Structure formats: C-alpha cells, structure tokens
Amino acid sequence: MPTYDDDLRLAHVIADQVDSHTMSRFKALDLTVESKPDNTPVSDADRTAEEIIRSHLSRARGRDAIVGEEFGESGHGARRWIIDPIDGTKNFVRGVPVWATLIALADGDEVVVGLVSAPALGRRWWAAKGTGAWSGRSLAAANRLHVSKVAKVEDASLSYSSLSGWEERGQLDAFLDLTRETWRTRAYGDFWSYMLVAEGAVDAAAEPELELYDMAALVPIVTEAGGTFTSLDGSPGPWGGNAVATNGLLHDEILGRLS
C-alpha cells in the first residue's frame, strides 16, 4: 500500500506559511472584500493564500493536479490536491476566529491526506491514509484522535452550519425533527463541526450543500479517527455535494432520518 507521509509533511510546511499570511490579514484594517458571482465573499487574503499553496505545489508536486476554490482546476493526473484557502470567509471578514485552511490530496477517487489549520483558534488537525488522525501544533507534538462511542441519537450531540440550506432542499422538517430528538445541538459550523466529530466532542455533523473543496480535507481526518463520512445518499467521501459525518455508530440512523 502506498504511503503518503511525505505528502502530509509537505501539507504541514505549506500550512505554516499560509497561517503566517492569513493571520497577518485577519482583522486587518485594509482587508479588501468583494462579492463573487454566487454572492459569497472573497478577500485578498483568500486569493493570496491560494496562490501561496499553488506555488508550493507547483515546485514540489509539479505533476499533480490542483483544485482550488478561488482559481479552479489546473493540471491533469490521478493525484489531485484539493484546497480551500480560507474555509469560513464570512467569519474571517467579520473578525470571528472560526476559519481554517483546508489542504487535501486525492489519489484517484480516494482522499488520502487531509490537513485543517485554524491558526486563530491555535489548532491544527491532520490525517493520512492508514496512519490515524491527529491534532496538535506539529507532527512531533500531537495527540491521536478518536470518535465518540455514543450509540443512541437521544444521547448524541449534533452540529450543523445553518437551517436555510435544509429549507432550500425541502428537508427542514426532517432536520428539525432530528434536532429535537438529539441530546444537544449547536451550530459550530464549517470545518469545526467535523473536527469536533473526529475529536469525539461531537457525535454527528451534517450539511445539505457543500463543494468538494469544503469537504475533501475533512474526510480522512474523520475516517482515520474511526468515524464515517458520506453524502446524504450514503455514498462515501466528499463527492456528493453534501455531507453527513458521524462516529459510525449513529450513521445509518441519522441518514435514515434525513432521507
């Protein structure tokens, strides 16, 4: 089985540089923010962060393809780096510290490396295929992650981002019914919901509409921690346009309630 340790180390090196840039622009008085065609915000920090990542990858992994939120897809090949320079841009531009850089590597149809770096929270999470999921400040100073063992929905903590997407999908009633049956719900939102699942602090997370770059880095972290990550139709991985992540024990029941 191929190993991806070198790719993971590269992701850490890239994240270190990106963190320095994004933190220098976080709460900057001269931050430039524009609206993209889909009415979502983008800042100068987003674009420069993606340029930094692409520059590193072009030098170190020139044969690999790249898929990014801001500059689309470039290159060809079975190996694709999937990047979101700032996941949580709305938080970033308003001074809320819940945002992160997401870096993933897909080999064929399997995401084999994922790194999530949230410098304003002082947190980083990562995983490579077959080596477990970890959190810490560096590869040398890390704690292994494990999902929870909660086995009943009525005992579960559920995280989500917003209700509007469920309403647009015509599933708001089903989602609200689920929230009423769980022990606790909180809208931690974006990447953080899924990292909390991997840590065992939250038992399930779900979102009705996501892009590939929103999800790819999250998948190996959740699954290497012992969890399950699928789309709402049960297809594994980040390819379905939406996400349900759980500790595995709750997965089938939650999918059933949201179908």
Q: Which residue has the tokens 């990447």?
A: 191
> What single-letter DSSP state applies at residue 211?
-
86 is in an annotated binding site: yes
Which of these, 57, 51, 56, 50, lies nearest to 84 by C-alpha position?
50
15 exposed, middle or buried (CB, 10 Å; 0-12, 13-18, 19+)?
Answer: buried
CA atoms of 196 and 217, how far apart (whole Å) = 14
Q: What's the one-letter identity of residue 143?
A: N
84 is in an annotated binding site: yes
Task: Concatenate the DSSP letters of all residues of 3-63 into one string.
Answer: --HHHHHHHHHHHHHHHHHHHHHTT-TT--EEE-TTS-EEEHHHHHHHHHHHHHHHHH-TT
Up-side HSE of residue 121: CA atoms within 13 Å toward CB? 20
Angle at alpha carbon of residue 134, lines to 131 and 7, rounded to 5°: 55
Up-side HSE of residue 247: CA atoms within 13 Å toward CB? 23
214 is in an annotated binding site: yes
Residues annotated in the binding site, as ranges?
Answer: 69, 84, 86-87, 214
Residues annotated in the binding site for Mg(2+), as ranges?
Answer: 69, 84, 86-87, 214
